[in-house]
Structure 1
Amino acid sequence: MTYSKPRPGRIALVSEHASPLAELGGPDAGGQNVYVAQLAARLAGRGHDVTVYTRRDSPDLPTLVRTPLGVKVVHVPAGPPTAVPKDELLVWMPDFGGYLSRMWRLARPDVVHAHFWMSGLAALTGTRGTGIPVVQTYHALGTVKRRYQGPEDTSPPERVGIEARIGQEADHTIATCADEVVELVAMGVPEERISVVPCGVDTTRFSPVPDPGRPPGGPRRLLSVGRLVPRKGFDRAIKALAEVPNAELLIAGGPDAPLLFADPEAERLRKTASEYGVAERVTMLGCVPQEKMPALMSSADLLLSLPRYEPFGIVPIEAMACGTPVVATAVGGQLDTVVDGVTGALVPPADDGGHDLAATIRSLLDDPARRARYGEAGRAHALARYTWDEVTDGVSRVYAQLTPVPLPTEVAR
């Protein structure tokens, strides 16, 4: 008797605003783009037929692009073929979902994985009445955003209600951290249909750089990385610096360095640095290319990640992968990724009388042996839990629960 080899799984990834082909650094181009690109590439590398559906945001884009790694990217005609802020895309999701429905009637996927809430809305429209299983990953939740941003939240007012409905209708939801599970259950998403699979880091690229180019004998280096928005807590790092002698703070993020003078948040941070008397010890680097980030992170004595809230937060893992210890606020995904007293220190999300952030920073800067232990443990932690192969294994196990098509759940190592 002869046995035929099982056919590859047909996997559809829906990412309405975050294209895996996008250049990072734009207002809506960041972690989700990387996640979708990395997951798609690794699924394709395991032999699956992977198609990513994303919105056409330029008239020059072809309908179909095949990447060198074998991923098909389909640019969906939904709304004008121009860049539109993601918070304004809801009106075009019926068109997006209708396009998916037509495509999937012609070539039925075995599983659909939606990324972000509007993608979930389009995916559920596209699969309605077909029995195709839908997996949802939110990447960020409207309930959390509304809680912390209040009137500054630019999300559509319908977001929270739609997110709850998506979670209740989807076959499974992948949360990126334990804190998100609590939020999802409170939204009415059945806990038995939730799995935790974290985001990943390219631990080959993000690794310790033996000679990061830091001048010898200079001040101790603190580094903060992220978008220049108030919630990231760069102002808190600046205020703490005033009580940390012989130290400098580098802030990487925002527009290119020559354009920082016109950035409102950069100006606010400059004023804070002047007010606290540390202007000469704070350097705003602007946007740092990804290829230069491992050396920058390796050059730091400490990575400060102090957001007021953070759905997941990839920067601490990137730093740990580079062997750099982390001081992070105990919020969101950072509660999972940073192991307090092992890979770094967790601190409260706001200054209060019960904790002294500057004292925590000083104690670590004054203890090179402890920093070295934290750095080694951080690198090991990143390799054990946050490689993209580990992430793809976890996602594949969820897919395998939902489709009768044999899907390999782990890559051969």
Structure 2
Amino acid sequence: MRIAMVSEHASPLAALGGVDAGGQNVYVARLTEELARRGHDVTVYTRRDDPDLPERVPLPGGAVVEHVPAGPPEVLPKDDLFAHMPAFGAHLSRAWRHERPDVVHAHFWMSGMASLLGAGPHGIPVTQTFHALGTVKRRHQGSADTSPPERVGVERQIGRTCDRVLATCTDEVQELAAMGISPRRVSVVPCGVDAAHFHPGADPATAPAPGRARRHRLLACGRLVPRKGYDLAIRALSRIPNTELLLAGGPPPEHLDGDPEARRLRELADREGVGDRVHLLGAVDPGRMPALMRSADLVLCTPVYEPFGIVPLEAMACAVPVVATDVGGHRDSVADGRTGRLVAPGDPDAVAAAVRDLLGSDRVRRRYGTAGRARVLARFTWPRVADGVEQVYRRLTADHELKSEVA
């Protein structure tokens, strides 16, 4: 099958940890890799953000990344890319006139806009994964939401126009229904994790972290942005004695002093009286993340909202229990009371109580860790994700062929 992945701002080649580089990049990269391994012809279309980038870059396994000229060839915040999506879509239409894919998979709302523009003239079926929804972002961020004002309307139109919406969690189905997009148009396939890379069998000495100075260690990781809720983890730490908190993510360590969010979190830690127990690590090499996770007693995932969240899966794959806020995709990934605990968002007392309870029992943590690893292997490996995505693709292409025959 010839598959076109469209990911306008999240390239599988990007370094993770930046403001606009995170779970979507991982999803596109790993799904592309798995589909190519199965013999599919996969091309990922992403926006050219550097004039020196080659037009096409081969990926290990046989897939290709194609850099699309749309807007200036420089790094732009993703919210500034909306105006360049017509040019992106026009490029796709020209490319697909000569080499027509069997199916298009769009990632994020602006990719959906470009994909429908590109696929429409050629009658190519389009499936859409939003990764995040404007209605949810607006609800939680209010006036701080920097998305283009057109976002929610465009997302609603994409959901009603594309051939299939591929949601990553059941919570998203409900959010889409509230937007007027019928659940009958939606399939749910979760995100995944590389369970060979993230695995039990610790070697904490290789972890890029300060020597353990406390009895217990908590870890939170991801992009260093306010919505990830690291402030909640810091407030909770002030209620948890003899424990340190490591925050992994953001710019390289030498640039943390110039990062506004890093400064805000350090100031908060000082105000809470835990400045000596909070360690900001900055960007951590992906190859060293499993060892860092295994060095922790618990992994905290405390965002105010989370469309899916890959970090809980990474922790569970390493057999480390998770304490996560009861939001979005966490409700699908974390089995409350079996692989971790789900707690009310925004409540540091609830986070602290769950953490203290788990830190008080090595036996329970081991049981949760074993169950977490088993849950990942049963539901959340990339081969299992690719199985579900392939089923959606095959259904779309079969339906399209049937419609063509009828016409």
TM-score range, shorter chain: over 0.9
Aligned counterpart for 1:272 among listed residues 260, 268, 287: 268
Structure 1 residue 216, shift from structure 2 partner: 7.6
8 Å CA contact 2:204–2:292 kept in 1: the answer is yes
2:300 alignment counterpart: 304
1:159 alignment counterpart: 151
| 2:234 matches 1:242 | no
SS, match of residue 315 in structure 2: helix
2:277 alignment counterpart: 281
Aligned counterpart for 1:66 among listed residues 54, 58, 66: 58
Distance 1:257 1:66 in 2: 31
Aligned counterpart for 2:393 among listed residues 372, 375, 399: 399
1:4 alignment counterpart: none
Deviations 1:105-145 (A, max 9, x none): 11111111101101100110011143211000001111111
SS, match of residue 328 in structure 1: strand
Counterparts in 2 of 1:98 and 1:241: CA distance versus 1, 3 Å:
same
Distance 2:344 2:212 in 1: 33
SS, match of residue 311 in structure 1: coil
1:86 alignment counterpart: 78
1:125 alignment counterpart: 117
Aligned counterpart for 2:164 among listed residues 155, 158, 172: 172
SS, match of residue 70 in structure 2: coil
Structure 1 residue 258, shift from structure 2 partner: 1.9
Structure 1 residue 66, shift from structure 2 partner: 2.1
| 2:363 matches 1:366 | no
How many pairs were matched up? 396
Compare 216-225 and 267-276 and name the one that shifted more.
Answer: 216-225
2:405 alignment counterpart: none
Structure 1 residue 40, shift from structure 2 partner: 1.2
8 Å CA contact 1:114–1:136 kept in 2: the answer is yes
Gaps spanning 5+ residues in structure 1: where?
A: 1-8, 407-413
SS, match of residue 194 in structure 2: coil
SS, match of residue 122 in structure 2: coil
Compare 216-225 and 28-37 and name the one that shifted more.
Answer: 216-225
1:319 alignment counterpart: 315
Distance 1:300 1:11 in 2: 39
8 Å CA contact 1:66–1:73 kept in 2: the answer is yes
| 1:245 counterpart letter in structure 2 | P
| 2:87 matches 1:95 | yes
SS, match of residue 280 in structure 1: coil
8 Å CA contact 1:208–1:295 kept in 2: the answer is no
2:204 alignment counterpart: 212
Distance 1:161 1:154 in 2: 15
1:411 alignment counterpart: none
SS, match of residue 356 in structure 1: helix
Structure 1 residue 389, shift from structure 2 partner: 0.4
8 Å CA contact 2:246–2:278 kept in 1: the answer is yes
1:330-341 pair list within 5 angstroms: 330-341=326-337
8 Å CA contact 2:116–2:126 kept in 1: the answer is yes
Identity over aligned pairs, percent: 62
| 2:293 matches 1:293 | no
- Between Structure 1 and Structure 2, which shows a larger proportion of helix residues? 2
1:42 alignment counterpart: 34
SS, match of residue 122 in structure 1: helix
| 2:305 counterpart letter in structure 1 | Y
Structure 1 residue 183, shift from structure 2 partner: 0.8
Distance 1:235 1:382 in 2: 28
1:140 alignment counterpart: 132
Counterparts in 2 of 1:217 and 1:89: CA distance versus 1, 3 Å:
closer
| 2:59 counterpart letter in structure 1 | T
| 1:382 counterpart letter in structure 2 | V
Aligned counterpart for 2:371 among listed residues 372, 377, 386: 377
8 Å CA contact 2:17–2:224 kept in 1: the answer is no
Compare 342-351 and 201-210 and name the one that shifted more.
Answer: 201-210
8 Å CA contact 1:313–1:333 kept in 2: the answer is yes
Compare 113-122 and 22-31 and name the one that shifted more.
Answer: 22-31
Distance 1:19 1:356 in 2: 37
Counterparts in 2 of 1:228 and 1:67: CA distance versus 1, 3 Å:
closer
Aligned counterpart for 1:351 among listed residues 347, 350, 356: 347
Structure 1 residue 23, shift from structure 2 partner: 2.2
SS, match of residue 370 in structure 2: helix
Compare 177-186 and 274-283 and name the one that shifted more.
Answer: 274-283
8 Å CA contact 2:135–2:152 kept in 1: the answer is yes
8 Å CA contact 2:299–2:321 kept in 1: the answer is yes
SS, match of residue 83 in structure 2: helix
Deviations 1:17-43 (A, max 9, x none): 111122223322221111111111111
| 2:11 matches 1:19 | yes
Q: Give the TM-score of the pair, scaled to structure 2.
A: 0.94
| 2:183 matches 1:187 | no
| 2:377 matches 1:386 | no
Distance 1:311 1:228 in 2: 16
Structure 1 residue 82, shift from structure 2 partner: 1.2
SS, match of residue 276 in structure 2: helix
8 Å CA contact 2:202–2:295 kept in 1: the answer is no
| 2:259 matches 1:263 | yes
Structure 1 residue 248, shift from structure 2 partner: 0.9
Structure 1 residue 404, shift from structure 2 partner: 3.3
Counterparts in 2 of 1:357 and 1:401: CA distance versus 1, 3 Å:
same
Q: Give the TM-score of the pair, scaled to structure 1.
A: 0.93
Structure 1 residue 65, shift from structure 2 partner: 2.1
| 2:393 counterpart letter in structure 1 | Y
Deviations 1:332-390 (A, max 9, x none): 000111100000011000228xx633222111101110000000001111111111101
Structure 1 residue 405, shift from structure 2 partner: 10
Structure 1 residue 247, shift from structure 2 partner: 0.9
Counterparts in 2 of 1:208 and 1:21: CA distance versus 1, 3 Å:
same
SS, match of residue 399 in structure 1: helix
| 2:391 counterpart letter in structure 1 | R
Structure 1 residue 218, shift from structure 2 partner: 4.2
